[in-house]
Amino acid sequence: MSGIALGLSAMLTLALGNSGLAESAKPQNTVFKSWTLACVTPQPAQGSTAKPKATCRIFHQVHPESDATKIAFIAAACYVGPDRIPMMILTLPPAASLQRGLNFVVGQGLAYKANILVCTQHSCISQFKLTDDLLKLFRTGTQAIFAFGLNPQGQATYAVPLAGFATALDALQKTGS
C-alpha cells in the first residue's frame, strides 16, 4: 500500500472518530463554520523518547437528511509528503462506481473530473491535488457539488458548503502537519 493510501486510511480513521490509530490518541477538533480541523497525536512507540508528531486534516461530513447520526460522504483536505502538496480526499459510499469516476463543480466554475482510486466493503476513496486554481476556487467559493455513479446504475450528488474552508486550511497550514 502506498504512503498516500496509508495516510488516507489514517485520515479516514481520524475523520470518522475511530480510536484505531492509537489506544490513547485523542483527537483535538476546532470548528471553522462548516469545516473541522482535527489533529491527533499518537502514543510514542514503546521505548521511544522521540515525541510523536501530530497528524492533522480538515474535513466536512455530509449526513443524510433522514439520519444525522450517519455519514454519507466526507470531503477532507491535507498536506501530503515533504513538499506538503495540498490534496482533497473524498470518502464515498462503497457502491460508488470505480469506472465512472467523480465529477465536481466549485461555485459557478468549470466541471472537473477525478478518479475513484479504491473501494472496500466500507467505502470508496477519491483524491486529487488541489492545484493553485482549485485552491483559489475552494477558498473563495460558497459550495462544491460532487457527483458520482452508484452501482448498478444509480447516481449520487452531495453539496459541500465551503464556509470556513479557507480559515480551516490556513489553520491546517500553521500546524505543519
Residue 68: give the domain boundaries.
Answer: 3-17+25-40+53-175
Query: Exposed, middle or buried by CB within 10 Å (0-12, 13-18, 19+), for 96?
Result: buried
**Within a domain: residue 159?**
yes
Looking at residue 25, its pLDDT comes to: 56
SS3 45: coil
Looking at residue 108, its pLDDT comes to: 86
CA pseudo-torsion sign 74, 7, 45, 175: negative
Q: Cβ distance 40 to 27 under 8 Å?
A: yes
d(CA 44, CA 101): 39
Name residues whose C-beta falls within 8 Å of residue 141's C-beta, 6 or more positions apart in sequence. Answer: 106, 107, 109, 162
**Within a domain: residue 48?**
no
Looking at residue 10, its pLDDT comes to: 40
Q: What is the mean pLDDT of each run of 10 residues along the chain (177 residues)?
A: 40 41 62 96 84 91 94 97 96 95 92 96 97 96 97 93 98 93
Which CATH number goes with the domain that contains 147? 2.60.40.1880
Pairing of strands 124-129, 85-92: antiparallel
Looking at residue 13, its pLDDT comes to: 42
Number of separate domains in the chain: 1
**Phi, psi at residue 9, to the nearest 5°?**
-60, -45
**Within a domain: residue 47?**
no
**Within a domain: residue 45?**
no
CA 98 to chain centre: 18
